[in-house]
Amino acid sequence: MSKICSPDALKNILENRQIQSATSSLNRFVMKFVDGTALVLEGMQEENSIGVQASIAQSADIADEDEAVCRVDWSWIYSSSIVAVDCRKEHILFQLNPAGPLRISVQLWQNKPFLAFQPYRSMQ
């Protein structure tokens, strides 16, 4: 898995990729693409700041999340393409076509980082 440090690098790597599937847990979000690669986002904490850490890997090397506290049905973003990416330390905003915007941010709960999603759709 290779870590991505700069917002420009993340934007250049992800734009125009088509989403095949996605899974999430409290501190990890995995977006798998039809080209066999995957984006892994994790909440991190350093000293007095928090942030989202991004890595690229081969989809086959990434296990599905099974320790999710609450399941999220990510099927609403499947087959969408990433049109634009706005990457900041605390969040990443994806513009997806046709699904629309998806913002993934990191927050703290009891001094531990977790990922928050807007919008989200829970499984019912």
Cα–Cα dist 35/18, whole Å: 8
Query: How distant is the alpha carbon of residue 117 from its chain centre?
Result: 9
From 86, 104, 79, select the one nearest 11 (Cα to Cα).
86
User: Beta partners for 38?
Assistant: 32, 57
Residue 7's H or E segment, with its range, is: helix 7-14
The tokens describing 35, both together, are: 């080209």
Encode pLDDT of 57-85 as tens digits. Answer: 999 998 766 555 667 889 999 999 999 99
Smallest CA-to-CA distance from 88 within 73, 76, 106 is with 106
Q: What is the mean pLDDT of each run of 10 residues along the chain (124 residues)?
A: 68 92 92 95 86 90 68 92 89 93 92 86 46
Tell me the residue type at 112. Answer: K
**8 Å CB contact between 37 and 17:** yes
What local confidence, expressed as pLDDT, does residue 98 receive? 95
